[in-house]
Structure 1
Amino acid sequence: MKYIAQYITEDIKLSCYEDSFFKSDIMFDQHMLVWFISGETKIVQAEATYFFKQGDIFLIPRNQLATIINYPKNGQPHKTVVMHLSTARLREYYAKLDIQPQMQTARKILSYNNHPLLESCLSSLIPYFDMKELPQDIASLKITEAISILRTIDKDVDNILANFDEPGKIDLVSYMEKNFMFNLPLEKFGYLTGRSLTTFKRDFQKSFHSTPQRWLTQKRLELAHYQLAEKNARPVDVCYEVGFENLSHFSFAFKKHFGYTPTELLSRQYKA
């Protein structure tokens, strides 16, 4: 995979994937504002699946789990401008304002497709990526501009950007049943359910009577079987969407669990 990243600061980057495919499971520690220059992205979350393409602009709230699958398109690489809206910077911004964010039960990805103000702000960053000497505070000014635009065009965005609460202790069973397909370190699952790693493992054993890794593997394989048998999905798509890192490992684990490979299951479906 050929990956190129250029930075204005650590919070603003131009990201480019030139290979045919890139997949990762991510927990977003910071809000991310993304502008698509070329390529396509599929973002799979527990509650929804999103598709983004050239010209799209969207905001991913922090502390979200997602599987990200990036593709080139029409001979062009997957290329985006990504702006991180860090908690520290947002605290500084909102310190001057009297804002009381409302609690939100779910933080979905917000789309601002082709909005002229945001597009102008983000596209104006392009010349800076090739400059060796940058105007002082240009990154800070651009991030402040982006936040101000978001607040102008979306009256509810303060409920996301001005909410600095960390995840509290939540019901482990319902959370894991909803998010088991995301291949993340157990420490991340612990953090998102309001637990230390030790407490997470202890509570998990008590709730599921199994180790996290054994339970996660079984749940992912069961979901994969359903996707293959009921929806005739391609093994390569199923593999990445249920939380496996590569197709060979997925096929091996699938056959060990069910006694036949994903390809053999599909062949049976076609013959039936």
Structure 2
Amino acid sequence: METGKENKKASGITYSCYHNRSREGEHFVPEHTLSYQIAGSLILSDGNREYPSNDGSFRLIRRNQLLKFIKQPPENGEFKSLSIYFNQQILKNISLEYGITAEETLDIQPVFEVKTNVLINSYIHSLLAYHQANYFDNQELIDLKLKEGILIILQANPELKNILFNFNEPYKIDLEAFMNQNYHFNVHLERFAYLTGRSLATFKRDFEKLYHTTPGRWLQQKRLQEAHYLITEKGKAPSDIYLDLGFEDLSHFSYVFKKQFGEAPSRIIG
């Protein structure tokens, strides 16, 4: 049984600690997030590429991303990480106060390595001290620490201003390319709509015009087709793929698979 804790406050800083079990899942990243790996490993994947982090790794995760993750504690140890969330209002305030603006950039990768120095290392240690002292619920102090963190990180990584201070919302993008890349993420249709630069009504209308079916039916068919291929051609076990393909539980996956193909997935392994 998994044991652990995640100390998350409204302040925007999370200290995570997990014991004795790899955690796999997926999530939507609504705000720019600095992720510092204290112990264990974290693997992020956008469906095309993996971004591994080990002890001491420091990453910036760009906002408005769909990512899968695997958190693995070290042998006989605990997975520990620190996540710092920069909301848009804090960044806009800093942009106005210091005149920092983004320049046009075509780099749209979701995860960036952050170069560290003595100041950044000291900053991280100060946040760990805040955690130990239970100060993550003191919003005034945390707001100061968030501002300090942004300014310190920009000194060592000035190019990150093009990410942090880009306040553009998702624009209308190619729907077919996006869905073919992201169909395996188990998120609500509202999220797909937002990330393609559409209202939910426009997303559904554009989708049915393109695919001649509803988004829900298409997603299930696409996931089942991929599951059938992985099981019959690659010899994958159903229990190893259902989460990666966006199904919430194995029993539901087996039920819809059998309904679609006439046999349970466990009976057709190649």
The TM-score with structure 2 as length reference comes to 0.87
2:247 matches 1:244: yes
Which residue number corresponds to residue 120 of structure 1? 122
> How many Å apart are 1:230 and its aligned residue?
4.3
C-alpha distance after superposition, 1:51-99 (max 9, x if no partner): 2233221111000111223233313233211100111111111112252
Task: State how 1:136-215 maps to structure 2 within 5 Å.
Answer: 137-215=140-218
> How many Å apart are 1:247 and its aligned residue?
2.5
Task: State how 1:1-272 maps to structure 2 within 5 Å.
Answer: 1-7=2-8, 10-18=11-19, 20-95=21-96, 96-104=98-106, 106-112=108-114, 117-132=119-134, 137-266=140-269, 268=270
Aligned residues between the structures: 267
Report if aligned partners of 2:116, 2:156 keep a CA contact under 8 Å in 1. no
Task: Please identify, of 143-152 and 228-237, the stretch whose mean Cα deviation from structure 2 is larger.
Answer: 228-237
Q: Secondary structure at the match of 2:217?
A: helix
Q: Distance in 2 between matches of 1:265 and 1:124?
A: 55
Q: Distance in 2 between matches of 1:258 and 1:119?
A: 55
> How many Å apart are 1:26 and its aligned residue?
1.6
Amino acid of the structure 2 residue aligned with 1:109: V
Q: Distance in 2 between matches of 1:93 and 1:235?
A: 49
Q: Distance in 2 between matches of 1:35 and 1:85?
A: 14
Q: Distance in 2 between matches of 1:113 and 1:261?
A: 49
Report if aligned partners of 1:7, 1:14 keep a CA contact under 8 Å in 2. yes
Report if aligned partners of 2:101, 2:166 keep a CA contact under 8 Å in 1. no
Show structure 2 runs of 5+ residues with no match.
none
Q: Distance in 2 between matches of 1:97 and 1:229?
A: 57
Percent of residue pairs bearing the same amino acid type: 35
Q: Distance in 1 between matches of 2:120 and 2:234?
A: 38
> How many Å apart are 1:44 and its aligned residue?
2.1
Q: Secondary structure at the match of 1:119?
A: helix
Show structure 1 runs of 5+ residues with no match.
none
Task: Please identify, of 196-205 and 233-242, the stretch whose mean Cα deviation from structure 2 is larger.
Answer: 233-242
> How many Å apart are 1:14 and its aligned residue?
0.8
Report if aligned partners of 1:21, 1:72 keep a CA contact under 8 Å in 2. yes
Q: Secondary structure at the match of 2:242?
A: helix
Q: Secondary structure at the match of 2:33?
A: strand
C-alpha distance after superposition, 1:114-164 (max 9, x if no partner): 765433322321121232568884322322232223322323211110100
> How many Å apart are 1:172 and its aligned residue?
1.5
C-alpha distance after superposition, 1:28-53 (max 9, x if no partner): 11001011122332322133122223
Q: Distance in 1 between matches of 2:52 and 2:31?
A: 21
Q: Distance in 1 between matches of 2:101 and 2:199?
A: 31
Report if aligned partners of 1:118, 1:149 keep a CA contact under 8 Å in 2. yes
Task: Please identify, of 237-246 and 68-77, the stretch whose mean Cα deviation from structure 2 is larger.
Answer: 68-77
C-alpha distance 67-132 of structure 1, shift in aligned 2 (>3 A): closer
Report if aligned partners of 1:44, 1:241 keep a CA contact under 8 Å in 2. no
Q: Distance in 2 between matches of 1:63 and 1:139?
A: 23
Q: Distance in 1 between matches of 2:111 and 2:162?
A: 13
